Amino acid sequence: MELLHLTAGGWLVAALAALCVGMAKTGLGGLGMVAVVLMALVMPARQSTGALLTMLIAADIFAVLAFRRHAVWPHVLRLLPAAFIGIVCGYFLMPHLPEHGFRPFIGWLTLGLLALMILQRTTRLSEVAADHPALAWPMGWLGGSTTMLANAAGPVMTIYLLACRLPKLELVGTGAWFFCVVNLAKVPFSVRLGLIDRDSLSLTLVLIPVVLLGGFFGRWILHRINQRVFEALLIGFTALGALRLVFG
């Protein structure tokens, strides 16, 4: 399936994914996993990672401009070396994942990260992790490898940054800079793997207004919705989408 030959329904789902990408970068981070699942539902899973990456970079630039003064750079710099190693590991692993197994792989990875997110919210994991600065290396590596394979590092970084007990704006600003640097670093690897091409760039150009709309909407809705209800709905819908990737 070529990226620019989606059905009307496919374009609607891709636009919804773009909206989720923009909202995820302005505080509603869990929506990033929804975008991963949605894109993998409307196009070949491997291609979807390249198309989603270019949208993520557009959203990263918006987020960095919006929250550039709130980044805590020691946390960014602590994570980046291990994240770069993770990107390289993901680059070498991806060619060995068969195309027919890539959709289930993304589904299982999403379910695993959801379980990790639920664990973080229901246990004292964050409090324990905050006492171990060395956790930046395994979490950075896991973030780099999962983002290279499926653009799915959001929950990993959310758990780590919450463990650092950052205030809301500092958490969003630190995450924005981290993902901007990491996603730009992934570009040459993704091009070499054939994940980014003219079609994926064209798709991003078409959907950039939707990504930006999601960014503005995310900032607006963040303060107007009950966070617990939102997270419960988010986890539920993401799990359903991931199960469809696994068993669909």
Range of the domain at 184: 3-247
Number of domains making up the chain: 1
What tokens does 75 get? 């946390």
Most confident of 39-43, 126-130, 239-243: 39-43
pLDDT top residue among 58 and 111: 58
pLDDT reported for residue 231: 64
pLDDT top residue among 173 and 221: 173
What is the mean predicted confidence (pLDDT) over 124-135?
A: 58
0.95 exceeded by pTM = no
pLDDT tens digits for range 179-237:
999 999 999 999 999 888 888 888 888 999 999 999 888 878 766 767 666 667 667 77
Name residues whose C-beta falls within 8 Å of residue 170's C-beta, 6 or more positions apart in sequence.
Answer: 70, 71, 72
